[in-house]
Chains A and B, each alone.
Chain A
């Protein structure tokens, strides 16, 4: 850290249409967008970074970049990854295909399983076996390894995943294979399961390392290209867990980045709410085809090890984001039984909702338009015109179908209200799933909304869940890039232990078990500390969070509980279980399945200084104009504000519509709406 030159930190988020840039210069956060270059996203980034350097008056090599990327996600969704091989314990070569042996849809005769990432003929079994207690049942012989190397050479693969049974209990055999492949395959990237995910359940672990191997060559090449514009040590990549990792780590473990973009949004929203003075947050990101919601209690990001992407399990820590297949473009229809369905089919951007002028499909966006909820404005600051007549036709046709089915006359406006009610009901279930069903009370939370369509639905949803407040952050369109800028550097390590820690009738081994857990944490922490130091974080700027995945002996699902050295772990687990499931088995014994360490290198706060929380807003803002808007309680004349006209600390008249470049916010009567000192829109219910 001997470098004295001024560094400028830049958050970069690649989206489908735009690549967003956020950086801090002269004490202010600056934001801009450039058109994305989907064939090679690094081109748009290079251009944007030159602009940042120019504007900030520094050399390009003085930029520090944190990048939210969709390269991994897209390769996985479009199946454009590498020709990868998989090495398993003999007899388990097909675990990747069979998965959990269940079909994805019970009654769908046409259901088909996606093809495995590693093709038939590229999955190789080796004769070896480790038992659950880590003892070796069958040695991995040298000849076996030599034969494997020969086979892999012949197969001409671009990358290799290795996942042997119980390797987390005894990694000796995996290491032996790793050494041989390093020596014999000349630099082909390796994904070895005990390094990436030393946790039990072979299918989920195999799937995770297979995804990693599938993405490695691509991600390596991409980050290499980007390296031409940013020095490798100054380039970091956003992980799915909400923390960033070095470009080198991202290139070797790309599976950790597959939800990079959405993670940036959640981090950005949480930080923005935190600065506005609200710690318990539910994020709500409603786009065209899907909606993401996530709970962040006390400003903390919640992680899950049970995520899946493109139908494939990913067992490394991922932000616990709940996705609903409904958004602004979701198509409404009346089904054969007379029920009003919204989604999962979406009109997408092409042909788009009826009001885009290319289709006659009634969508959620059309419903909002018919209800006047865009406040008479067009989208993208007027660049994108909406065809109101077409939207009305589409909703009128839907209304005829509803009248016919239900035997009651339904108007186009009623149909539009119906579409919004149905889509909101789906969102409400998602919000409940991340809060109430996980033992958190939404009445203590703030709903932070971003994404194009979120603001039109957020206040109604908050009312339904009795969430007292909605915050629309400043520059909601650049929140993901902002999140990248502000994400801590995070390493997550874990280890499956399977130890009984106490409770039940026995409980003598407790101290010994606690000592083992403690030892595992110390070892992991030593590794993480050294790694963070190498990345320039002194011990004072490191934070290490210890949690254990615990369960009652006999259960199969774990709850994450903070580890405090083991003294009250059993008690705390009972409480957690009670909160989540409504009862505790106080007679049951508690088992620590895994020790999980989350190590963060704390990124400095933004230099931008603002009061933490607004005083009572005084100035009443003058609306740009008024518009006729249908609310649930009936039609009202609503004030229409342009977001860019609103000064910090203004009070808004309600009901109102607040329009801005990439989103619209609807505030019904009865709510209080103001901008705070930081420019966030705060709606109190």
Chain B
């Protein structure tokens, strides 16, 4: 018998499900009440529950890219503000707890006693807002530093003692497009925090604060045990791989990512030494993103079991991302794409390294991009500005035992599409095609999934930006399987197609169609 832990497996299971359901319920409230299609239709958000020390206990299964990065937001909020009853802290600063600017995080405390000054729990949610200011609608354009990308919000109180801070709100609203939508989304985020707090208070009322806190701690240990068992199952050794982004969008040339994974018993060290220095274009990832991507890969190796994404998950894993590189960028690097593109490449390079350790488990490369498309302008029906943002699915890499899935979001994102019929009600845009890109999946014993063809026409003058990758270097095949087809992008004007840069912005005339063909997944095994 192992010593010293002393917990009841039944109670542990009940708290596991309970804390997870709190996070899920927060997500449900947010999704159902938000106004950005990005949050409500595409579900680009995450909600999490933290203990009194700010360690994450549970997180909803929402966006993997938020997996390891939410704790840093709470840490920053606790470090820079003093969260009292009824306070809500807002932040998006990539260099202080955030990831990229459109992802705005709200944090509040849950105070168990009427006169408590110290919170017993914290709850937080992060939602991708359709616009947060900056040079291009949607705040995902090509900027040369973070100042050009939009409004940077350090941890500040948006709500003080239950009352929205008018000054802070006015300052925020003066710097973003589509003010009404932003305001409603903030309200929805605050509502979601209230839901979480109410549920936690119920749990405490029923079981007592001591047991609730004790089992929060046990849950963190639980995740750590699950991860240790997973790492132990990987053969000891050193596994290395190199992959790259096509470009940073500003300067020519690939951006190299290098990883060295060292597995010893139940512990792993993931070292990104040798990756490219931070770049001029917006594909820099802050450290939170890199940790998230590593957490995602190892979480996948745990398997289908429902393990809470608690602080314990990363306990057996050490990450070294050297400062000043593309995987741990320093202020004031532009970071819009670190979240959405570089995170995918970090997953690719890490899986590539681990495929040498676990050849029967690890899939070939998936599309490796989120194909971020933003179109903005003025809607003549309302006279108001609009900013529409979406990501487009692609091919999943083939698995050692199965073909890859076609037309699906993979790895660091799982956001839904906006239905054409919803999109056209809301924006002066028309979807012209949404179909599978046949033959784009890599051949092999197991075939890679096919990418997608998405064609959107604008009905008004508009400005678009695209942030995508895997347009030159293809998603890799494994074990003799062929690579997937790289993506390609066009603007069709009057029947003539012209090439569109995978990272860049362009003005559109009414009738122009943006045609995105997303990458296919790599194949697995010789045919």
Contact = CB atoms under 8 A, between A and B. Distances in A.
A109 B399 contact: yes
Interface string A582-604: 11010010000000000000000
Interface in B175-197: 180-181, 184, 187, 191, 194-195
A108 interface: yes
Nearest to B25: A437
Interface in A367-406: 402-406
A92 to B, nearest CB: 6
Nearest to B424: A132
Interface in B260-311: 296, 299-300, 302-305, 307
B188 to A, nearest CB: 8
B361 A109 contact: yes
Interface string B315-339: 0000000000000000000000000
A105 B302 CA distance: 13
A109 B421 contact: no
Interface stretch (B6-14, B87-95, B464-472): B6-14
A589 to B, nearest CB: 10
B6 A407 contact: yes
Interface string A407-431: 1101000000111011001100100
Contact of B32 (A166, A204, A557): A557
A97 interface: yes
A406 B5 contact: yes
Given A418-B10, A585-B187, A91 B434 contact: yes
Interface in B98-145: none
A2 interface: no
A581 B410 contact: no
Interface stretch (A62-70, A230-238, A251-259, A329-337): A329-337
B388 to A, nearest CB: 13
Contacts of B303: 107-108
A429 B8 CA distance: 20
Contact of A107 (B12, B25, B300, B419): B300
Given A98-B393, A557-B31, A337 B184 contact: no
Contacts of A129: 430
A113 B435 contact: no
A91 B435 contact: yes
B71 interface: no
B181 A422 contact: no
Nearest to A557: B32
A410 B33 CA distance: 45
B268 to A, nearest CB: 17
Choose among A200, A554, A557 the residue with the greatest number of B CB atoms under 10 Å from its CB.
A554
Contacts of A165: 420-421
Interface in A62-103: 91-95, 97-98, 100-103
Contacts of A112: 402, 405
Contacts of A557: 31-33, 40
B224 to A, nearest CB: 8
Contacts of B225: 336-338
Contacts of B416: 100-102
Choose among B7, B34, B194, B420 the residue with the greatest number of A CB atoms under 10 Å from its CB.
B420
Contact of A407 (B2, B16, B419): B2
Interface string B13-25: 1101110010001
Nearest to B222: A337
B354 to A, nearest CB: 11
A131 interface: yes
Interface residues of B, number: 85
A103 B300 CA distance: 14
B419 A202 contact: yes
Nearest to A432: B21
A106 B61 contact: yes
B17 A404 contact: no
B17 A425 contact: yes
Interface string B430-459: 101111100000000000000010010000
Nearest to B31: A557
B176 to A, nearest CB: 15
A132 B393 contact: no
B4 interface: yes
B28 A437 contact: yes
A106 B35 CA distance: 25
Given A91-B435, A557-B31, A107 B299 contact: yes
B296 A107 contact: yes
B393 A340 contact: no
Contacts of A341: 13
Nearest to A92: B434
A425 B9 contact: no
A97 B34 CA distance: 27
Contacts of B455: 91
A568 interface: no
Given A337-B222, A341-B13, A91 B7 contact: no
B435 A93 contact: yes
A110 interface: yes
Given A91-B435, A103-B414, A339-B222, A406 B8 contact: yes
B226 A337 contact: yes
A335 to B, nearest CB: 6
Contacts of B432: 91
Contacts of A403: 1
Choose among A342, A403, A556 the residue with the greatest number of B CB atoms under 10 Å from its CB.
A556
A406 B7 contact: yes
B9 A334 contact: yes
Contact of A583 (B21, B191, B229, B300): B191
Nearest to B198: A582
A338 B9 contact: yes
A106 B409 CA distance: 10
A94 B435 contact: yes
B197 to A, nearest CB: 11
A340 B436 contact: no
Contacts of B434: 91-92, 94-95, 98
Interface in A155-180: 165-166
B254 interface: no
Contacts of A278: none
A498 interface: yes
Contacts of B28: 437
A97 B17 contact: no
Contacts of A201: 419, 421-422
B407 interface: yes
Given A101-B417, A426-B17, A338 B12 contact: yes
A408 B9 CA distance: 9
Contacts of A92: 420, 433-435
Nearest to A100: B416
B35 A103 contact: no
A552 interface: yes
Interface in B215-231: 222-223, 225-226, 229
Contacts of A421: 10, 14
A588 B304 contact: no
Interface of A: 91-95, 97-98, 100-103, 105-113, 129, 131-132, 137, 165-166, 200-204, 334-342, 402-408, 410, 417-419, 421-422, 425-426, 429, 437, 498, 552, 554-557, 577, 580-583, 585, 588
25 contacts: A91-B432, A97-B436, A100-B416, A102-B416, A103-B396, A106-B61, A107-B302, A109-B362, A111-B405, A165-B421, A202-B421, A203-B419, A337-B226, A338-B7, A338-B9, A340-B13, A404-B1, A408-B8, A418-B8, A554-B181, A556-B37, A556-B41, A557-B31, A582-B29, A583-B191
Interface of B: 1-10, 12-14, 16-18, 21, 25, 28-29, 31-35, 37, 40-41, 43, 61, 64, 180-181, 184, 187, 191, 194-195, 198, 222-223, 225-226, 229, 296, 299-300, 302-305, 307, 361-363, 392-393, 396, 399, 401-402, 405-410, 414-417, 419-422, 424-425, 430, 432-436, 452, 455
What 7 pairs across the A-B complex have the smallest Cβ distances? A418-B10, A91-B433, A554-B35, A101-B393, A556-B40, A98-B407, A340-B9
